[in-house]
Amino acid sequence: MTSVSDDELRMLADYVYSLTGIQLDADKRYLVEGRLEPLLSDSPRSTYAELCARAKAGDHRLQRAIVDAISTHETSFFRDRKVFELLSHKIFPEFFGTDTKRPMSIWSAACSTGQEAYTVGMVLESILFKLEDVRVRILGTDISSFAVDAANRGLYLKSEIERGLSNREVEKYFTEVKGMYRVRDDLRSLCQFRVDNLLSPAARAPHDIILCRNVLIYFGDKEKKTVLDTLTARLKPDGILLVGATESILRFSPKLVRRDFRGAVYYQLR
Ligand SMILES: C[S@@+](CC[C@H](N)C(=O)[O-])C[C@H]1O[C@@H](n2cnc3c(N)ncnc32)[C@H](O)[C@@H]1O
């Protein structure tokens, strides 16, 4: 393993922070070495300092590769079931009432490889029964182009679908393709995925529901506040914001009020 010097680690940490807002502390040396070393061997240069310099000089492929390697894409279908029970028992029934064609806009921010967005689609189907005529759009965004490509494909390994889904759910929502599992077409057509940085996101109309789970933990206080300002500005007046179970956000956003439903926490504008 090529070890990273203290100076190189600082240089890389500053660079990753400027691109993503992710804070790499000195104790993340193992992560830098483990994840960036494969890029060294692809490169004609051989040190981390030179790798960083090439990316900074405008090598976009390398920039993307560094972001993909450093960001943690851990996710699964139905990650934290309580959140999806909140959607199926409260938020969706109250929103749609008897009008199943009411338009709804959902944003899965920092969506990783798409499992969260597709899970929302599965829950939606359990409430609305047929997806054909619904006017729901689920937008997934992530800074990692690798993750967004995977989300767009909607094709998963057996090990990925076994995490979080029962056999019945696998049969219901996936088609087997050469030993892999593709999300059903009608479910995929509800979802769109794009590369977008939460710290400088593209302009878009506000959403009814925003899920931004398990990403704030990687940011410092300043970035948390910036992201929460964006999320609150993108929430419709009665909209719902969902964050990760361990993420506490009220001190970063006085505009939000916390609510509970059967052990699941959600936020709304005051
Ligand atoms: C641990 S995953 C969480 C995935 C999903 N939300 C969940 O809870 O299962 C964190 C994701 O945040 C993305 N991410 C990190 N920094 C980001 C940024 N500045 N803008 C957008 N996405 C970011 C990473 O690429 C990664 O896919």
At 30-68, the pLDDT tens digits run 888 899 988 886 555 578 999 999 999 999 999 999 999
pLDDT tens readout for residues 100-159: 999 999 999 999 999 999 999 999 999 987 888 899 999 999 999 999 999 999 999 999
Confidence (pLDDT) at 25:
80
Q: 97 C-alpha vs ligand 1 centroid, how far in Å?
A: 32
Residue type, 111: C
| Ligand 1 proximity of 73 Cβ (cutoff 6 Å) | yes
Atom of ligand 1 nearest to the CA of 112: 27
Cβ 112 under 6 angstroms from ligand 1 = yes
- Ligand 1 pocket residue status of 21, Cβ below 6 Å: yes
Are 200 and 173 spatial neighbours (Cβ–Cβ below 8 Å)? no
What is the residue-wise DSSP string for the chain?
-PPPPHHHHHHHHHHHHHHH-B---GGGHHHHHHHHHHHHHHSSS-SHHHHHHHHHTT-HHHHHHHHHHHS-----TTSSHHHHHHIIIIIHHHHHTT-TT--EEEEEET-TTTHHHHHHHHHHHHHHS--TT--EEEEEEES-HHHHHHHHHTEE-HHHHHTT--HHHHHHHEEEETTEEEEPHHHHTTEEEEE--TTSPPP---EEEEEE-S-GGGB-HHHHHHHHHHHHHTEEEEEEEEE-TT---GGG-TTEEEEEETTEEEEEE-
Return the domain boundaries, the chain.
6-70, 81-153+185-269
Residue 42 is predicted with a pLDDT of: 58
pTM: 0.95
Residues 251 and 220: beta-carbon distance below 8 Å? no
What proportion of the chain, given as a percentage, has pLDDT over 90? 87
Rg (CA), the chain: 20
Is residue 199 within 6 Å of ligand 1 at its C-beta? yes
Tell me which residue has its CA closest to atom 12 in ligand 1.
110
Of ligand 1's listed atoms, the one at least distance from the Cα of 198 is 20
Neighbours of 173 (CB within 10 A): 21
Cα→Cα distances 143→13, 38, 40, 49, Å: 17, 20, 22, 23
Chain mean pLDDT for the chain: 94
Distance CA 215, CA 254 (A): 20
The reported pLDDT for the residue numbered 40 is 86
The CATH fold of domain 81-153+185-269: Rossmann fold (3.40.50)
